[in-house]
Structure 1
Amino acid sequence: MNQRRSMMNSTQISYFTLAAYFDTGSLKYLYFMILTLLYVLILCANVLLIVIICMNRSLHEPMYLFLCSLLFVNELYGSTGLFPFLLLQILSDIHTVSVHFCFLQIYCVYSYACVEFFNLAIMSYDRYLAICYPLQYNTRMTFNKVAVLIAVTWLTAFLVVVGTVSLTSSLQLCGNIIDNVYCVNYSIVKLACSDTTVNNIYGLLVTAFSVFCPLILILYTYMKILKVCFSGSKQTRQKAVSTCTPHLASLINFSFGVCFEVLQSRFHMSSVPNVLHIFLSLYFLTCQPLFNPVMYGLKIWSRILS
Structure 2
Amino acid sequence: MKSNNSLTPSYFQFTVFADYGPLRYLFFSLCLLIYMIIISANVVIILTVCLENSLHQPMYIFICCLSLNSLYGSAGFFPRFLMDLLSDTHFISRPFCVIQMCIIQLYLGHELTLLTVMAYDRFVAICQPLHYHSKMTFRMVLLLLMFVVLYPVCFLGYLFYLASSLPFCRNKLHRLFCTTFSVVELSCVDTIAISRVGQVFAVILIIVPLSFVLYTYLRILLVCRRSLSDFRGKALQTCLPHIVTFGNFCISLCCELLLSQYNLVKVNTSVSVALSLEFLIIPPISNPLVYGLNLPQIRKVIFGFLSKTVCPTRLTSVFVGF
Q: Which amino acid is the alignment partner of residue 7 of structure 2? A: S
**Which residue among 266, 284, 291 is the counterpart of 2:286?**
291
Matches within 5 A, 1:24-63: 24-63=20-59
Give 1:110 deviation, angstroms.
0.7
TM-score, with normalisation over the residues of structure 2?
A: 0.89
**8 Å CA contact 1:229, 1:236 repeated in 2:** yes
Counterpart check, 1:10 vs 2:13: no
1:158: Cα distance to partner?
Answer: 2.8
Greater alpha carbon shift after TM alignment, 43-52 vs 295-304: 295-304
Residue number in structure 2 paired with 1:104: 99
User: What does the per-residue CA deviation read over 1:200-253, in whole Å, with 9 as the maximum and x for residues that have no partner?
Assistant: 232123212221111010011011001101111112211221111111111111
What does residue 305 of structure 2 align with?
Answer: none
Correspondences of 1:93-172 after superposition (within 5 Å): 93-172=88-167
Larger radius of gyration: 2
Corresponding position of 1:64: 60
Structure 2 SS opposite 1:201: helix
**Which one-letter code corresponds to 2:231 in the other structure?**
T
> SS where residue 150 of structure 2 aligns?
helix
Query: Would the alpha carbon gap of residues 139 and 196 (structure 1) be closer, same or farther in structure 2, given more than 3 Å must change?
Result: same
Q: CA shift at 1:15, angstroms? A: 0.2
Aligned match of 2:176: 181
TM-score (ref. length: structure 1): 0.93
Distance (Å, rounded) in 1 between the aligned partners of 2:159 and 2:7: 19
Distance 2:68 2:53 in 1: 19
- The secondary structure found in structure 2 opposite 1:135 is helix
- Kindly state the Cα deviation for residue 271 of structure 1 after the two structures are TM-superposed: 5.5
Kindly provide the CA deviation profile for residues 170-192 of structure 1, in whole angstroms up to 9, marking residues without a partner as x: 21211000001111211111111
Whether contact under 8 Å (1:49, 1:297) holds in the other structure is yes
Q: 2:236 aligns with which of 231, 241, 253?
A: 241
Distance (whole Å) between structure 2 residues aligned to residue 273 and residue 301 of structure 1: 43
Maintained 8 Å contact 1:128/1:222: yes
Aligned to 1:97, the other structure's residue is in SS state strand
| Pair 1:305-2:300 in alignment | yes
Q: Is the 8 A contact 1:78 1:112 kept in 2?
A: yes
1:264 equivalent in alignment to 2:285: no
Superposition CA RMSD, Å? 1.7
> How many residues were matched structurally?
301
**What secondary structure is seen at the aligned counterpart in 2 of 1:16?**
strand
Alignment deviations for residues 76-129 of structure 1 (CA, whole Å, 9 cap, x no partner): 000000000100011100011000000000000111000000001000010000
Structure 1's unaligned 5+ residue stretches are none
